[in-house]
Amino acid sequence: MSDTTTATTPVPSSQPKRTASSFIGALEIDVRFLGMVGALAAIWIVFDFLADGTFLTPRNIWNLSVQSSSIAVMSTGMVLVIVMRHIDLSVGSILGVTGMIMAVFQASYLTPAFGFNNPAVMALTLAAGIAAGALIGALHGFIIAYLGVPAFIVTLGGLLVWRGAAWAVAEGKTIPLTDDNFKLLGGGASGSIGATWSWIVAVIACLAIAAATLQARRQRQRFHFPLKPLWAEVVTVAAGCAAVIAATLVVNAYELPAALARRYAQAAGITVPPEGLHISFGYAVPVLVALAVGIIMTFITTRTRFGRYVFAIGGNPEAAELAGINTKRVTLMVFSLMGALAAIGAAISTARLNSATNAQGTLDELYVIAAAVIGGTSLAGGSGTIAGAMLGALVMQSLQSGMVLMRVDTPYQNIVVGAVLVFAVWIDTVYRKRFK
């Protein structure tokens, strides 16, 4: 087909005089996303330098991935909220109350009913938490969409209400978790999948990347659309796989400390060889949960009607309404989804702490919003990506973790994080003006 996406006549894919911009153009990569990856790399390198080489260690990267999980999960929902020109200030409090609900439900009802470490306990705890989060979100969404109260106010109220409710659920007590399966969601040595399973996950991920690319290409061939040059497809798949393999190498390079490894070997009945045991952590469960949430949310935003409507409403609410979209229902669903994701975040952070506390999730709303915004979600609505927000969560966590390694005091950490947030959004504003 002589049809091309540009107005010019078709150009053979292997042109010698290819500039950098046309190279990226042919790859069809989001330039902003690439910029963010570059920024993250820069932050990591600078911190590694400033913190005397303690930042870019498998141990720290692994910790970083676990610490980012909860915020990353919630940031995917915040993208949709902000894309629709709303805001949710209540996610930290929803996290608090759903964490408390899950802990109380598990400790007081499920474990007594099913016995210790029954698989049903974990499933039911999660189900109860997610249902509670979705209901709370739906209530917010209902008030915003159908009663017409601005989201800022509704969720500001929610911030206070659900924090208070979290206190009320257990009268301010800290509730320890009773189910060991549930604790796996928090990561740690037992909450990781080990070297072998990490490689299995990596292989599956690589195959999935290749299959998705091939499928997209087949689809376009079916309708005789202009295709990406073959080399570009190969480069994209190779880059994706390289990233997966690199991540796997890093998490597998983080090994159990010798004492823990010995105890693990004893428990598993493995004889310790003379040169010592090397047991890798591999991917942590909360990281896999976050990645799964990211993939599902990306699917929802790009491949489903619901996601398309969210973006159309964010781009032009009036046009969406005139096109016959039930904008109120979509608004309600977005807030409900946000609530459910806050509950997943609560499961991760509760499991990490081994208990639900009153202050859990305090200020998380700000980190989640910051992650989404640093990740390129525009507060004007209509644009943002799930991957960008998750990367934004990683950027935020990197800043904090790096400053901890540099032994910066908490107040100064906050000053830096706040300044970086404003700076990042300013850069983004400049970028949008210049290139759009």
Partner 1 sequence: MNTVTMTQPAAPARSGEPLVEMRDIRIAFGGIHAVDGVSIDLYPGEVVGLLGHNGAGKSTLIKILAGAYRPDSGEIRINGEKAEIGNPRDAKRYGIETIYQTLALADNVDAAANLFLGRELMTPWGTLDDVAMEAATREVMGRLNPNFRKFKEPVRGLSGGQRQSVAIARAIHFNAKILIMDEPTAALGPQETAQVAELIKQLKAEGIGIFLISHDIHDVFDLADRVSVMKNGQLVGSARTSDVTKDEVLGMIILGNSPPGAIPGPGATTD
Please name the helix (run of DSSP H) or strand (run of DSSP E) that holds residue 356, with its range, or none: strand 355-356
Q: Which of 312, 346, 348, 396 binds partner 1 (CB under 8 A)?
A: 312
Question: In the set 129, 133, 158, 314, which binds partner 1 (CB under 8 A)?
Answer: 314
Q: Interface residues for partner 1 in 355-384 (CB under 8 A)?
A: 382-383
* 243: phi then psi, degrees, rounded to nearest 5: -60, -45
Asked if residue 323 binds partner 1 (CB under 8 A), the reply is: yes
Rounded-to-integer distance, Cα 29 and Cα 302, Å: 16
The interface mask with partner 1, positions 3-42, x = CB under 8 A, is xxxxx-----------------------------------
CB of 307 to partner 1, least distance (A): 8
- Which residues lie across from 175 on neighbouring strands? 356
Say if residues 145 and 321 touch (Cβ distance below 8 Å). no
- Closest CB to partner 1 among 121 and 389? 389
Distance CA 263, CA 29 (A): 47
CB of 146 to partner 1, least distance (A): 15
Cα 151-156-157 angle, rounded to 5 deg:
105
- The token pair at 178 is 């009773």
Tell me which residues in 222-261 interact with partner 1 (CB under 8 A). Answer: 222-223, 225
Find out whether 5 and 226 touch, Cβ atoms under 8 Å. Answer: yes
How far is it, in rounded angstroms, from Cα 76 to Cα 81?
Answer: 9
Told to check if 211 binds partner 1 by CB under 8 A, we report no
Angle at 252 between CA 246 and CA 254, to 5 degrees: 115
Please, what is the minimum distance in Å from the beta carbon of residue 212 to partner 1? Answer: 13
Does position 316 interact with partner 1 (CB under 8 A)? The reply is: yes
Residue 304 as a binder of partner 1 (CB under 8 A): the answer is: yes
Q: Is 397 in the site for partner 1 (CB under 8 A)?
A: no
Q: Which is nearer to partner 1, 8 or 19 (CB)?
A: 8
Q: Counting every residue, how long is the chain?
A: 436
- Contacts of partner 1 in 120-179 (CB under 8 A): none
Residues forming the site for partner 1 (CB under 8 A): 3-7, 219-220, 222-223, 225, 302-305, 308, 311-316, 318-325, 382-383, 436
